[in-house]
Amino acid sequence: TVALVIDIKSVGSAAAGEDASGLWQRLRERLTDKQVGVLTRQSSEKPRELVRLLREWIAAKPERKLLVMFDEADNFLDADSKSGFRDVTLLRDLMNDTNRRFKVVFTGLHNVQRFNGIPNQPLAHFGGIQIGPLEPDAAYELIKRPFERLGYRFEEPGTILRILSYTNYHPGLIQLFCHALLERLHQSIDTDPPYTVRQLDVEAVYRDSTVQRSITERLDWTLALDMRYQAIAWSLVYDQSQSADGYARAYPPAELLRLLRQNWAQGFEPVMADELRGLLDEMQGLGILVRDAEGQYRLRSPNLVRLMGSEDDIFERLAELSRQQAPIVFDADSHHASLEGSYNYSPLTHAQERRLATPQFGVALIFANRALGWTRLPEALARMIRDRAGDSCLNQIPSTITMADQLVPWLRHFVDEHQNIRRMIVYQEVTAADPFIEERIDAAIQFCRERSKTKNRFLRIVFLFNAEATSYWVSINGAARDKLEQLSDAVVFPARWNRQGIRQLLDQHQKLGSEDAQKVLLSTTGGWMTLIDTVFTRGRSADDLRVAAGTVDAALGDVASGLRQNFRAELEIEQNIDALALMRAIDTLGGVPVDALTPDLVDVKGLTEERLTAACELLLRLGCLERDDSGTLRAEPVAARVLFA
């Protein structure tokens, strides 16, 4: 049995100038080391040849095992995702071929967390472990047992709990604090054991400026993984600084998004609610936030504020952050999984799939029109849940189930009938104004809550809203709608494809992927899935899609063309008079700041604030409006062109 730890922090790093294939060179160097001796110095470093040699080495003796642990893998996984996980696939196949006598483990920070959550990437079905704050019993023992072995006894149990409150149950902070405490205690030993650890000793260590600075630095490292983590944590502190609740207030995602846009417009104005939910869940995994039973988020502990530094320090950092540019997003989050067919891709990004695939019983709401790929959503869900183990299934909830008291018995029967299935998705298409949809969603949420402690099983109940149903949904009572979305585990708006997604598509189909080619394809199609399909179909035999994009551009400008008429119908907003008029007004004005949006701007008689808000929300969810980093609403150019030009 051979076990190796290999640091690959610079592999895949643009700053280090080393691409993803550098992993194989690192692996070969270790395997040919004399102390390891798995391979000879003459062994090739070509990936497929190296895999073949490893397969032969393992097969030579039935007791042979090789464990390779790649540390600091964030850059590598990000880089490999751009090639469709080419290198990870080779490693995965070697694991399968050797019945896991060869095993690979990747460790890292937030990119590894995000990577592991992408369904159906090569290592997804091997599972992952997220290391966060310790459970209370384990954290208590981590303090108590080592001190007892060294001859110390705590004056009272509350002394240990005080340490846990100061360190937020984070193992690294516990180690740091207890090391400083032990050093202090050693200085005053003048008797035989057992020695007493007193409350005043703990308080003295906590007041020590060196300890406080070290703890603050450790927490800063976590928040600095993503600038948006910093903005969220600091905004929560800033907003509660004058309150009397000790930083314990919980925030609905919608309210938190408004707060973040006030504090850092460039970072959060373009962010939609479903994307924010993903960030909040990541911070929950890191032990910074918790989500309560009402679907609201708060700081995991008020003591986190003290760990971050003084209020003045936090306010100063937030003010400085407010002047920064938005961070570059994780590229793989913008990619889309391939479905059956040459140019058939999921409307869902990897980031959205990750939010839908959280392993628990829960409810998800998805809103889209045909132009964004609504008709492909069932196939996308099937692709997302499919795995080799054969222990997954996708079922459609019959359209005849319209009442809550029909849905719950159906769900119970379905779960009981599939006792041997570990991962399940059931979905219902909502295709029109549905006066009972609120009750069904609420019943589904309550059903999942009853099963929340179910171990080793996953059920996602998904409601797929088309454009007409979305129009109805955004028009109902705002408070009731927000509450149901807040209690749902995922609320997803399949978006238009962005530059990173288009680059991925060009690379995977070996088309010219220059910056200009990406720019032409994005400007011609607006990132609308159905138009991207058309460009790829017309340019099927060409290496350069810019010519095909030109023919699509011309057709979209021709009032009589079938392509223009079809795309116009796929947008599915012409039947909504309020939404169409609002989009026309914004397009005519060239953009309208959100806070300047009033019914007077729209040529619809009797338009109320409530109807205006509903129309705006509909257009945002269906991709027809964009919100830039200054908070200005603009009509999506390609959609506006076919609707109004």
pLDDT, one tens digit per residue, over 127-172 is: 677 777 888 999 999 999 999 999 999 988 899 999 998 888 889 8
| Alpha-carbon distances, residue 120 vs 80, 85, 154, 381, 472 (angstroms) | 15, 11, 50, 11, 34
Say whether pLDDT at 321 is over 60: yes
pLDDT interval class at 518 (50, 70, 90): very high
**Mean pLDDT, residues 606-617 taken together:** 95
pLDDT confidence of residue 644: 94
pLDDT confidence of residue 213: 87
Which amino acid is present at 208?
Answer: D
**Mean pLDDT, residues 56-81 taken together:** 91
pTM, entire model? 0.77
Cα 85–Cα 114–Cα 506 angle in degrees, nearest 5:
40
**Mean pLDDT, residues 458-484 taken together:** 93
Q: Among residues of the chain, what percentage have pLDDT more than 70?
A: 96
Query: CB under 8 Å to 199, separation ≥6 — which residues?
Result: 155, 156, 158, 159, 162
Tell me if 463 sits within 8 A of 443, measured CB to CB. Answer: no
pLDDT interval class at 196 (50, 70, 90): very high
pLDDT confidence of residue 390: 57
Which has more pLDDT, 452 or 603? 603
pLDDT confidence of residue 388: 41
pLDDT confidence of residue 342: 64
pLDDT confidence of residue 302: 82
Q: Report the distance separating Cα 408 and Cα 404, nearest Å.
A: 6
Say whether pLDDT at 389 is over 50: no
Cα 267–Cα 581–Cα 571 angle in degrees, nearest 5:
70
Tell me if 133 sits within 8 A of 287, measured CB to CB. Answer: yes
pLDDT confidence of residue 168: 85
Which amino acid is present at 254?
Answer: A
pLDDT confidence of residue 334: 82
Rg of the chain taking only CA atoms, in angstroms? 27
Min mean pLDDT across 475-484, 531-540, 634-643 is at 475-484
DSSP string, 289-327: EEE-TTS-EEES-THHHHHH--HHHHHHHHHHHTTSPPP
pLDDT confidence of residue 341: 67
Q: Report the distance separating Cα 257 and Cα 232, nearest Å.
A: 9
- Nearest Cα neighbor of 447 from 360, 383, 385 is 360
| pLDDT single digits (tens) 414-436 | 999 998 888 899 999 999 999 99
Q: Report the distance separating Cα 482 and Cα 254, nearest Å.
A: 8
pLDDT interval class at 77 (50, 70, 90): confident
Query: CB under 8 Å to 193, separation ≥6 — which residues?
Result: 151, 152
pLDDT confidence of residue 37: 85
pLDDT confidence of residue 525: 97
| Burial (Cβ within 10 Å: 0-12, 13-18, ≥19) of residue 477 | exposed
Say whether pLDDT at 125 is over 60: no
Chain-centroid distance, C-alpha 584: 33
Name the phi and psi angles at 244, rounded to 5. Answer: -105, 10
Tell me if 434 sits within 8 A of 336, measured CB to CB. Answer: no
Q: Report the distance separating Cα 328 and Cα 325, nearest Å.
A: 9
- Nearest Cα neighbor of 314 from 328, 324, 304 is 304
| pLDDT single digits (tens) 522-553 | 999 999 999 999 999 999 899 999 999 999 99
Say whether pLDDT at 359 is over 50: yes
pLDDT confidence of residue 130: 75
pLDDT confidence of residue 264: 93
Say whether pLDDT at 84 is over 50: yes
